[in-house]
Amino acid sequence: MNNIERALMHGLFIHLHHNIDKAIDFGAFKELNEKVGRESAGALLIGPDANDDAAVFKMPGDNGLVVAKMESHCSPCVPRPYDSAATGAGGAMRDVVAMGGRPLFLLDFIGTRPLDQEVIVGPCGFSEKCTCGECEIMTSGERVNLMVRGIRDMCEKMGVFVIGGGLSTSFSDVVPAVVASVIGRLVIEKPLTKPAKNAGDRLIILGTTGNDGNDTLYRAGLVDVMRPAIALFEEERATMEAALAVIETGKVNACSDLGAAGIGAAVSESVRFGGLGAAVDLALAPVNIEGLTPEEILICETQARMLFQVAPSDVEKVLAVARTKGVSAVEIGSITSGKEAVFNYGSKEIARIPHQPPAELLAEHR
């Protein structure tokens, strides 16, 4: 197990971002929802136990389907509050899109220290003492204003209403709480889902990759400084419109947004939940800066990207539809009949991710 495999598998199998069911009893929610479903039959299509990108449900008396997602983006707001609050909102919107929905409404919650207390914004924010000379000292209230502006600017660009939210100044931790909930409307008759469906389907990526959003590497202890993802407002809107146009063709078999742990997590989770494998050539993924390492392409969390799985016969149509919206769209791999995700860079193997965590990894975190 090399370092990048360790980092990605740490994110997939250890860190709670991808393993909420280890802390929350989803079975209890499923049981509750089944009981409530006796009173409102057919109202809930996809709930929390499905491990998908967002929930899908039907409002009584409404013929359409609604999509909803709640996303937190807390730690990245320490070094980069404006961008991280914006990308938290944008990430929740992409999760709605990944199910086949257009985001329409947002509620947000921010929890922070008392507004007059000083905070450090920058790479040293976690230690509360700047040693790099690049940090900025401001009040908690000034930081709140940055986070609110980031959420507002993303909503404005994406055409999403802010309909409510909450604020608490009773938090004492250096990390603020930043949570966004997004509600949207499905644009197709049935929701898309994350699990891979068919061996042979092709993987198509929308958007370009950079080296920002190295949170997974940071949490795994492989880099010293967290570089949160940069908010890409224009690109985010273009990717959403391209993704919805592709989805409306009816040619998409599975879909994921590229959030935490990037291409690596999106592909690995899809094939794990679908009981299949994948072969990806990272050298084919479009990049927005030169000199990226294969590891950065694999795991970084650059925004405004989506991943589709389509039949081989539909690849050219899907690529053409996406490109009419001015968005980069490229085939980077395929679904296989295996039981692991294999990531190469040309002829060089970069990572091989199984469906189950290796005993070595589990032993490290006991």
Distance CA 193, CA 199 (A): 16
State the average pLDDT over residues 80-99. 97
Are 102 and 170 part of one and the same domain?
A: yes
Q: Classify 17 as helix, strand or coil.
A: coil
Question: CATH no. for residue 356?
Answer: 3.90.650.10
Which band of pLDDT confidence, cut at 50, 70 and 90, is reported for residue 274? very high
Are 148 and 205 part of one and the same domain?
A: no
Are 107 and 215 part of one and the same domain?
A: no
Q: What is the pLDDT of residue 24?
A: 87
Distance CA 203, CA 206 (A): 10
Are 202 and 168 part of one and the same domain?
A: no
Examine residue 203 and state whether it is found in any structural domain, yes or no: yes
Choose the final residue of a domain: 174, 190, 206.
Answer: 190
Examine residue 78 and state whether it is found in any structural domain, yes or no: yes
Are 147 and 282 part of one and the same domain?
A: no
pLDDT at 282 over 80: yes
- And the tokens for 137? 């000292």
Beta strands per DSSP E along the chain: 44-46, 55-57, 66-72, 101-111, 118-121, 136-139, 161-168, 177-186, 202-206, 252-257, 277-281, 306-310, 329-336, 340-345, 348-354
pTM above 0.75, yes or no: yes
Q: How many residues are present in the chain? A: 366
Q: What is the pLDDT of residue 11?
A: 86
Choose the final residue of a domain: 172, 190, 208.
Answer: 190
Strands 340-345 and 348-354: antiparallel
165: left (phi over 0), alpha (psi -120 to 50) or beta: left
Strand order through the sheet with 66-72: 44-46, 55-57, 66-72, 177-186, 101-111, 161-168
Residue of 260, 243, 263 whose CA lies nearest to 328 = 243
Are 166 and 209 part of one and the same domain?
A: no
Choose the final residue of a domain: 190, 216, 237.
Answer: 190
Please tell me the total count of domains within the chain: 2
Are 243 and 339 part of one and the same domain?
A: yes
Are 93 and 230 part of one and the same domain?
A: no
Which band of pLDDT confidence, cut at 50, 70 and 90, is reported for residue 133? very high
User: 96: domain range?
Assistant: 42-190
Are 353 and 227 part of one and the same domain?
A: yes
Are 206 and 179 part of one and the same domain?
A: no
Instruction: Please give the angle made by the CA atoms of 181, 183 and 184, to the nearest 5 degrees.
Output: 150
CB within 8 A of 47, min separation 6: which ones?
29, 30, 33, 55
Examine residue 1 and state whether it is found in any structural domain, yes or no: no
Question: CATH no. for residue 173?
Answer: 3.30.1330.10
Are 80 and 200 part of one and the same domain?
A: no
Are 202 and 140 part of one and the same domain?
A: no
What value does the mean pLDDT of the chain take?
94
